[in-house]
């Protein structure tokens, strides 16, 4: 059975070491199998790399961006909660102390104004939330 050049398809001479058509070396069965295996391995590697670039990398990048956004949101929420707690704490201390003094002094007008200020402050705090 005649064999043909794996590069150009020219019919090969039985004792030839090189193809008369293209000049490439004639490959034995083992060499041909190695060439095919190498070609397929390279092709598979290229397809895997392309799959990683086109499908996997964007998914990973999107997941990382989402995690960063979640972390930023959590950090922001924590800072807001901390600021609100500090304001409420300061408002309670100031208000309770002053209100008790005003009640002791029977200064109802001043008590009413302070209470109104506390309500406004709490309203502003809840408006921020």
User: Is residue 23 one of the residues assigned to a domain?
Assistant: no
Count each helix (H run) and each strand (E run) in the chain, helices first.
3, 0
User: Is residue 13 one of the residues assigned to a domain?
Assistant: no
SS (H, E, C) 19-76: CCCCCCECCCHHHHHHHHHHHHHHHHHHHHHHHHHHHHHHHHHHHHHHHHHHHHHHHH
User: Is residue 11 one of the residues assigned to a domain?
Assistant: no
User: What gap in Å lies between CA 26 and CA 63, rounded to an integer?
Assistant: 52
User: Is residue 2 one of the residues assigned to a domain?
Assistant: no
User: Is residue 16 one of the residues assigned to a domain?
Assistant: no
User: Is residue 61 one of the residues assigned to a domain?
Assistant: yes
pLDDT for 54-112, tens place per residue?
A: 888 888 889 999 999 899 888 888 888 888 888 777 666 656 666 666 666 666 666 67
Residue with tokens 């709490």: 122
Domain housing 45 = 29-128
User: Is residue 7 one of the residues assigned to a domain?
Assistant: no
Q: What is the pTM of this model?
A: 0.36
User: Is residue 18 one of the residues assigned to a domain?
Assistant: no
- Could you count the other beta carbons within 10 Å of the beta carbon of residue 65? 10
- Domain count of the fold of the chain: 1
Confidence (pLDDT) at 27: 75
């Amino acid at each position: 059975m005649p064999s043909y050049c794996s590069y150009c398809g020219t019919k090969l001479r039985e004792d030839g070491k090189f193809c008369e058509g293209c000049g490439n070396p004639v490959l034995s069965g083992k060499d041909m199998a190695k060439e095919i295996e190498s070609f397929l391995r390279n092709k598979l590697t290229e397809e895997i790399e392309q799959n990683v670039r086109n499908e996997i990398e964007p998914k990973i990048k999107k997941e990382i961006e989402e995690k960063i956004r979640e972390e930023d949101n959590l950090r922001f929420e924590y800072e807001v909660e901390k600021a609100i707690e500090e304001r409420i704490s300061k408002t309670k201390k100031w208000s309770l102390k002053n209100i008790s003094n005003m009640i002791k002094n029977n200064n109802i007008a001043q008590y009413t104004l302070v209470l109104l200020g506390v309500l406004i402050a709490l309203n502003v705090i809840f408006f921020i939330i």
